[in-house]
Amino acid sequence: MGLTKTEGFSEDILFFSNLLKAISHPSRLSIILFLIDKKQCIGNDILEELPIAQPTLSRHLKELKDSGWINAKVDGKSMLYCINPIVLNQLTQYLNQIQSSSNSLCC
């Protein structure tokens, strides 16, 4: 797969496109929705909820963490995961801004 050209785009566009790309996979979107519902949990809780293997879950959690969607901290021998509320609020505000701008459009 070729490299995506990102030169010339604003920091906001790059930031939000990265966030949206991270949740474009059904498993990652399901993880986000599960974490929003549960507030925080360990990986095994997520594993019990989704039809994926543990190595696949680890890969998806890494992708979500790298993109900023989730926070992780050590909890004994496990990792505790939760949604990054700052990122969720930023995306909500950005989408509200788009929605407000589109109110004057007609097709």
CATH assignment of the domain containing 34: 1.10.10.10
Is 3 among the domain residues?
Answer: no
Q: Is residue 1's pLDDT more than 70?
A: no
16 Cβ contact list (under 8 Å, min separation 6): 90, 91, 94
Question: How many domains are there within the chain?
Answer: 1
Report the alpha-carbon distance of residue 101 to residue 99 in Å, rounded.
Answer: 5
The token pair that represents 94 in the structure block? 């950005």
**What is the residue range of 26's domain?**
11-99
Question: What single DSSP character describes residue 10?
Answer: -
Judge if pTM exceeds 0.85.
Answer: no
Residue 6 lies in a domain: no
Kindly state whether residue 42 falls inside one of the protein's structural domains.
yes
Residue 35 identity (one-letter amino acid): L
| Model confidence at 62: pLDDT above 60 | yes
Q: Say if residues 65 and 72 touch (Cβ distance below 8 Å).
A: yes
DSSP 93: H
Residue 105 has pLDDT above 80, yes or no: no
Q: Is residue 105 assigned to a domain?
A: no
Mean pLDDT (the chain) is 90
